[in-house]
Amino acid sequence: MQWRRHNSGPIGIDVGAQRVRAVQLGERAGGWAVTAAGSEALPAGAGRDPAALRSAVGKLLGAHPFTGKNVAVALPSQALQIKNLRLPRMPDEELFAAGEFEARERFQDLADAMLRVVPAGLAGRAGDEQCEIIVLAARRDAVEAHLNLFTGMGLTVTALEPGPQAFFRPYTRFLERAADAEKANAFVDVGARGSCIMIARGSDLAFLKMCPVGGETFDRAVAEALNVPRDQAAGLRRRVLAADGAADPQAEAVQAAVGPAVDQLGKEVGLCLRYYAVTFRGERPEQLTAGGSEMAYSGISERLAAATQLSVRVGDALRGVTADGVFTAEEMARGLPEWTVAIGLALGGRQRAGKELQVA
């Protein structure tokens, strides 16, 4: 699905594990500007409570100058499955249908799922290449429940898509030059429940993998190291990392506890890079672009860089977009990593990769 080009686009709504974030963009003088943005904390356990989620979304939309009823939303990460398949070489227009058929045939749990097929490129030995595809799938009941969350509020869902594609979209705007067509770029979305590792060739996604290491992993590590309850560990970790450890007597202990978990994430990134290089015989990315809610905290980038031996930068999802009066200069300078998915959703309709999940 795509939204029509009005002065204001749809409201991109990212429902995370701990907060709901929403962003709306408008066309301004040939470019784009953030016209409204806001976030609302979710009470503990709200992820399984539709009434609590609906209340949080309602408060958020009512507290900021959003316009219209059109929204673009991402599927919850826990509802998403990712499968990789290889098929004989064929045109892309045939690949979508063939990929969907093969996925349903090979994986019984996808028989009644909603699917999106993303061509990843040619894989295998020279002269014997096959088409590798990424199949993104979600159970029909999970999709319908997520849609009902918003339609039950009188909102119109104009786009529903997997979070990884929404995360990647803000960066595709700067990867479409001919010189970038075969260049490999690595990305990681570090969220509360886990992370998603992505590798792109130019502006096309070529690899996706979900990894269970995320903010909740960090919280468990701190809780075990300091022998404190999980909720106390979560608050302590966020306070220490948000302040960059300044004048906090527990900063060193927190950093030491979180470090091995970040190293594990770095190891997973390294394995993904190796798979990509072998599968597609492509160059290894030289830089890792990181975003997600956990990248708003200090120390993660440096530890990831050491673990992956890559240059790690916090992505700037609003590069080239003005946000005067909505985000401060300081917020813009640090890249707003926790807003990446919401921004990608708000940008939706301009670039789309793969066959759409059918939501109607």
Residue whose tokens read 């019984």: 108
Cα–Cα distance list, 68 to 8, 25, 71, 86, 158 (Å): 8, 12, 9, 42, 12
Give first-to-last CA distance, the chain, whole Å.
Answer: 9
Q: What fold does the segment set 175-318 form as a domain?
A: Nucleotidyltransferase; domain 5 (3.30.420)
* Bridge partners of residue 291, in order along the sequence: 189
For the question of whether the overall pTM of this predicted structure is more than 0.85, the answer is yes
3-state secondary structure of 319: coil
What tens-digit pLDDT sequence spans the chain (360 residues)?
A: 233 344 689 999 999 988 999 999 998 777 889 999 999 998 876 666 888 899 999 999 999 999 999 999 998 888 899 999 999 999 988 999 999 999 998 888 888 889 999 999 898 887 889 999 999 999 898 899 999 999 999 999 999 999 999 999 999 887 766 566 678 999 999 999 999 999 998 888 999 999 999 999 999 999 999 999 999 999 999 888 887 656 677 888 998 999 999 999 999 999 999 999 988 887 788 899 999 999 988 788 999 999 999 999 999 999 989 998 899 988 898 889 999 999 999 998 443 333 444 332
Please give the sequence-ordered ranges of beta strands (E in DSSP) within 97-230, or none if there are none.
114-123, 130-138, 156-161, 184-190, 195-201, 204-211
Domain ranges of the chain: 81-135, 175-318
DSSP 212: S
